Structures are given as C-alpha cells and as structure tokens.
Amino acid sequence: MKRRPDPRIYGAFERLVPIRVLGEVFEVPEGVPLIRALQYIEFELGRLRMDWSRFCFNDTIGCCLCAVAAPGGGGAAARACVVTVSAGLEVKTLPEGGVLLPPAIESAS
C-alpha cells in the first residue's frame, strides 16, 4: 500500500485531484497552493525538476510566475504560491527553471 504523503510538506488535504501540467495529467493534493502540488509532482511522482531554493513560497517576490487556466477558462499569469489547486486546473507554463521530466521507462525482466 502506498504511503500517504506528509501533510507537513504539502499541507492538509482530503484527496488527490487531476490537474494538467504542460499537457500531462497528474493527480495532486486538492486545496493546496500550486507550488506545493508542483513539489508533489517532483518528490512523490519523480516527474519534475525545479530549484526550490529560488522560491519564497509566500507571495513576496513574484519568483514563481506561471500561466494557469481554470477548467473551461482561458490562460492567465499567476503566482504558483497563490493559486489553489482544484480539479481541472491547467498549468500552461512552469515557473522559471521548471522542467517536466518524461515518464520513467520500466525495464523488462
């Protein structure tokens, strides 16, 4: 059974919801700031690389600018530390320096 992610990292959440990041769907904690969901994609799913030391996490310097779209809406610039994750959120661009990694290729035994 998969362990439950640590709420001290991502914040308290009840369930995982689908969001789209650069065209790919990921299940991430609902109701947390997008920057925490991006950490979840890196630390729990191994599909993202970002230099977390660059980010303030509290909307003070604007370093986590990205483009997002609400379900059924157009895109808009936003700060990942301010946007709250909900089902259907689409991340069109990552904060500067973010790289979405390809899925791991499982070797045949």
pLDDT at res. 11: 81
Largest CA distance in the chain: 50
Q: How far is CA 11 from CA 15, 25, 93, in A?
A: 12, 21, 23
103 CB-near residues (< 8 Å, 6+ apart): 47
Q: How far is CA 50 from CA 22, 33, 72, 94, in A?
A: 15, 16, 28, 9
Q: For the chain, which domains are there?
A: 14-97 (3.10.20.30)
Rounded mean pLDDT of the chain?
90
CA nearest neighbour of 44 among 82, 87, 96, 6: 6
Q: How confident is the model at residue 109 (pLDDT cuts 50, 70, 90)?
A: low
Tens of pLDDT, residues 56-82: 888 888 899 999 998 877 789 999 999
Tens of pLDDT, residues 23-56: 999 999 999 999 999 999 999 999 999 999 988 8
